[in-house]
Structure 1
Amino acid sequence: MKVVAEKIPFPRPNQNGQNRDFGKLSKACHVLIVDDKQDNLLILKTLLERAGATTDSAKNGEYAVELCNSESYDLIMMDLAMPVLNGLEATEIIRRETPNSSTPIIAVTADVSQHVKENCIKVGMNGYISKPLYPNNLLQEIERVLSEAS
């Protein structure tokens, strides 16, 4: 996954030198990041934690379902193309069978086709962000999804 930013000095202080407020993400938001690529996990973890969130990670959908049965999350960032159990399949199971059934889920994928977006919505995802990730776009989508969920 490629992140487009200038060395990710993130989050930047506001003009008064204070840390920026990223809304619900800054308020002790606990996020599950699901991706089979270690680099992608690290990038999302870094961005989210710098914005104020705490994170857990899973390397595929099967582990995500396991974590969703034992932990409570405020948000799930779900890659779509993974081995064992892909993001769409994992989302369906999370929605049907876990205590996190109503937790907002955002798809993170390089596939920007309308068909994929429709499938994400069909299985119960709340948002969609395409790769490469732009930090401000990512945070805007997270804030939108979390605001709609409350």
Structure 2
Amino acid sequence: MAQVLIVDDEPNILLSLEFLMQRSGFQVLTAATGAQAREHLEASHPDIVLLDISLPDTSGFELLEEIRANPACTSLPVIMLTAHGREVEKEKGIALGANDYVTKPFSTQELVTRVQSLLAQIPDGD
């Protein structure tokens, strides 16, 4: 079962995404801060990350840069999930290494489909 790390500081979004991903058959880790996300990345090695841009202790962009700089995480799929819908922010996220960029509000089914699609592209290392 694939493991999804959801990083978002908005409790309602975190809860609804956690429920959605669990209902879709994923194991779920949640983090409300960049620091919590770093701990999960180090300890649990999730299969995919849903990453908000606006976090209380760092930006999602900075965290994405850290993920891409870590040799163990270079191929980890990351979907930026944010209310920042301006084209310049999307371009920045993609340029920094995000695999996809979803703007809030979003279709829950579309998000699940994007997660499944990215996970299907990963070679099975087991």
TM over 0.5: same fold?
Answer: yes
**Structure 1 residue 67 and structure 2 residue 40: aligned?**
yes
Distance 1:149 1:120 in 2: 20
1:58 to 31, 35, 47: 31
The answer for unaligned runs of 5 or more in structure 1 is 1-27
Residues 129 and 141 of structure 1 are in contact (CA less than 8 Å); yes or no, is this contact kept in structure 2?
no
What residue number does 1:31 align with? 4
| Deviation for aligned residue 1:143 | 2.3
Residues 68 and 99 of structure 1 are in contact (CA less than 8 Å); yes or no, is this contact kept in structure 2?
no
Code of the residue aligned with 1:135 in structure 2: it is: T
Residues 80 and 109 of structure 1 are in contact (CA less than 8 Å); yes or no, is this contact kept in structure 2?
yes
Deviations 1:21-55 (A, max 9, x none): xxxxxxx1101000111111101000000000010
What residue number does 1:14 align with? none
**Against the structure 1 CA distance between its residues 113 and 123, is the aligned structure 2 distance closer, same or farther, given a 3 Å change threshold?**
same
State the aligned residue count: 123
What residue number does 2:89 align with? 116
The answer for unaligned runs of 5 or more in structure 2 is none
Q: CA RMSD in A?
A: 1.4
Q: Give the TM-score, by structure 2 length.
A: 0.89
Larger radius of gyration: 1
Identity of aligned residues (%): 32
After superposition, residues 1-150 of structure 1 pair within 5 angstroms as 28-97=1-70, 99-150=72-123
Q: Give the TM-score, by structure 1 length.
A: 0.76
Code of the residue aligned with 1:113 in structure 2: it is: R
